[in-house]
Amino acid sequence: MPQRTVLALLFDGVQSLDVTGPVEVFSGASLLDPRAGYRIRTASLDGGPVRTSSGLTVVPDGPLATAPRPHTLLVPGGEGTRRPDPALIGWLREHGPGAERLVSVCTGSLLLAEAGLLDGRRATSHWMLCEAFADKYPAVRVEPDPIYVRDGHIATSAGVTAGIDLALALVEEDLGREIALQVARHLVVFLRRPGNQAQFSAQLAAQTAQREPLREVQQFITEHPAEDLSVPELARRARLSPRHFARAFQAETGVSPGRYVERVRVEHARRLLEDSSAGVSQISRACGYGTPEALRRAFVRTLGQPPAEYRRRFGDHPAP
């Protein structure tokens, strides 16, 4: 029976769910299947207690200096990643490459980047921080949309619950889909989200303009995805010139009008693919795309997979 030590790093300001979420997945798998061999260990720099970002005190198993070599090294995020201890970064730089799997949750990817472990690799983090992440670490190929990214033996995930999705994927890789599905059921979560499902609706919710004319335009876009949503038409609704509208929209929301419209339309199509039995041609028209091919291109750009594949994975209704 293989021994798979899962070592979770602890530090002051750690996000507790980034640790406990994945740990519950691995420990749950061991309870369901004795062959799993997951051995959970936690460690801080000096072995002393740490205070989480929510104020909880957590006592680790010991110091990093005496921690066992891990099969899976779990690097969580939290407020403590803003000004990390140089000694922690040094330990990661030295010992991270020795782990069979190096896994980060949320802003834990910033610690990996600071240690130089993500140079030349694809990675993600919480979507709100991805732009700053890319600016600070230009050697990292930051992907803001996926909920997790695998690049070789390194896996990075987005905010909090994405760590659970990633851990379930790793259990499925180790033990098979049935065990991962049982763990998901036990935790009352879905075993449905692959890494390339986007950090999507949260982005749209956060990209809300402050100025009333622009908010009205955004509401119109959301409620009428099949309408003419060109910049000239949206500018007319906002009572602005097209040039002024495009600049103001970008400044208020952080994305261009065209990109925002595409995200809304793809989100609408995504929900129809999940919850209805409508054909792709019908969904294309309902979302403002003239042809299924236009929808397919937008879907691949945004979610990394075509509509048919998305429906196969996530749909509740078979395609007609």
- Positions annotated as catalytic residues are 106
Place of tokens 């072995």: 47
Q: In 3-state terms, what secondary structure has residue 91?
A: helix
Whole-angstrom distance, CA of residue 76 vs CA of residue 159: 10
- DSSP character for 70? P
Alpha helix (H) residue ranges in 137-192: 161-175, 177-187
- Name the token pair of 59: 């006592």
Q: In 3-state terms, what secondary structure has residue 59?
A: coil
- Name the token pair of 268: 């609408």
For residue 111, with 0-12 CB atoms within 10 Å meaning exposed, 13-18 middle and 19 or more buried, which class applies?
Answer: buried
The separation between the first and the last C-alpha atoms of the chain, rounded to the nearest angstrom, is 46
| DSSP output for 233-263 | HHHHHHTS-HHHHHHHHHHHHSS-HHHHHHH
Residues in the chain, overall count = 320
- DSSP character for 69? P
CA 247: distance to chain centroid?
Answer: 29
Of 186, 185, 252, nearest in space to 213 by CA: 252
133: left (phi over 0), alpha (psi -120 to 50) or beta: alpha
Half-sphere exposure of 59 (CA within 13 A, CB side): 0
Name the phi and psi angles at 155, rounded to 5.
-130, 130
Distances (CA, A) of 23 to 3, 7, 76, 84, 166: 16, 9, 11, 22, 11
